[in-house]
Amino acid sequence: MTQSVESGSELGLPSPKERRRLREAADLTHGQVAAAVGVTVTTVRSWEAGRTDPRGRKRAAYAEFLAGLARPPEDAPEAEGPTPADPDPPSQAAPEAAEAAEAAEADPAMTPVVAVPAAAEAVQELVEEGPSGAADASDGSAGPDRDEAGGTHEPPAVPDARAVPEAPGSPVLSGAEGAFDDLYARAASGLIRQAYLLTGRRDLAQEAVERAFRQAWRQWPEVATDPDPVGWVRIAAYEYALSPWHQMRPVSRHPDKPPAEPADRILLDALLALPTAHRRTVLLYDGVGLDLPDTAAETEASTPTAGGRLLHAHADLADRVPELAGVPPEKHSAVLHDRLAALTPAVPLQARPAAAVRGRAERRTRRWTRAAVSLTSVIAVATAYTAATAPTHYEPPIAPGSNVSGVPPLSGPQQLTEHSRQLHDKLRADPAAGPARITPRIE
């Protein structure tokens, strides 16, 4: 049985039918396999059906898991209890992971939530390696991973999830801070390079990645229990880097210095000329090495839509990039992976220290907390002042005057004006008052 596993592919993957037979022989569910490898139940079903094959670190983890299932009982260690190198026996390591696996099996559409040990292992996961070699047309198995020099290499072993690497001369961190710093040290540089390939701007790439890690630190309990914490940060960084609002910033009017190599400059210009959705799909599938269902899920599209975007993007790049002009379409992914890995920017892409990013996130959280407390205090004082000065009873307002119809006009002598009063006084002061005043006189 072991020989059949080792002869399945170059990385120890058997055929899809053998994968299913090994799982059923071990009396395991799809959810339990997904929780052990760190993927979704749908992905495990797709692997066993032969629709897709794992690549990168997931391929190595799945191959090691299947090799453990295929190992004969006599190859297992004879010790009954846990050894000093394995302080946590499998039966007591993560009961929460088994419960999550059973819940995921009941609902295939639900992503399994890995418990503490599995989550710590996911935190230690490296940035996804590049895509594996071109698929073999006969059995659909993917080739080995490629390094930046174009050769093949075996995937590195997964480090102990509970061990935090110590940098020389740096303080020893434990708990959430140590896990965050380890995740940042492993993923920040690769994510900055990916964001640079998405935008062509170093400052925007560094800002997007640092902002994503600050958001991850503020929501660390959610990120720590995520099956793919690097993917969580990558989604946040991509969303910010591709926001259309950056086009309104004055800094976006001055492009960065293009790469020195003409081939790199042509490739970067061709990549930036693609639509945003196509550019992101090419980078995830060809650059990061995700399979098509995971690429579709991360870009919030269906699998056929993601496949169509990838085909159109490859066709556009083949018209612009000379290295893809004479290559068959099925080899475009491998060539693009090698070219994207070898692209050398004209500006250095360096990540700031993890402590600085974490400290800035904490300071930002404190500022927002103080602002919220201050605003709440102002609202409370204003409410108290209003309650103290508000009237305690209702005073109806005085109605304005209005015309009243049906009242007879005022009778009697009218009021005299100034001119009429002067004339009246003059007549009364005349010496010939009375009727005689109208008799003509001879003077």
CATH number of 258-352: 1.10.10
How sure is the predictor about 277, in pLDDT bands with cuts at 50, 70 and 90? very high
pLDDT computed for residue 76 by the predictor: 44
pLDDT computed for residue 5 by the predictor: 37
Whether 157 shows a pLDDT value over 60: the answer reads no
* pTM above threshold 0.75: no
Residue range 224-267, pLDDT digits in tens: 888 889 999 999 999 999 988 887 887 777 778 888 889 898 99
* Distance in angstroms (rounded) separating the CA atoms of residues 86 and 93: 10
Residue range 29-68, pLDDT digits in tens: 888 888 888 888 888 888 888 878 888 788 888 888 888 8
- Considering 271-275, 353-357, 362-366, the range whose residues carry the highest mean pLDDT is 271-275
Tokens 């210095």 locate to 257
CATH number of 1-75+94-114: 1.10.260
Contact 164, 182 (CB under 8 A): yes
pLDDT computed for residue 168 by the predictor: 42
- Considering 52-66, 220-234, 351-365, 425-439, the range whose residues carry the highest mean pLDDT is 220-234
pLDDT computed for residue 281 by the predictor: 93
Alpha helices in 26-136 (DSSP H): 30-37, 41-49, 56-70, 90-93, 95-106, 116-123
Contact 179, 123 (CB under 8 A): yes
* Distance in angstroms (rounded) separating the CA atoms of residues 19 and 69: 10
Give which of 293, 329, 235 is closest to 58, Cα–Cα: 293
* Distance in angstroms (rounded) separating the CA atoms of residues 222 and 220: 5
Residue type, 2: T
Whether 401 shows a pLDDT value over 50: the answer reads yes
* In the chain, domain spans: 1-75+94-114, 116-131+174-256, 258-352
If one compares 29 and 433, the residue with the highest pLDDT of the two is 29
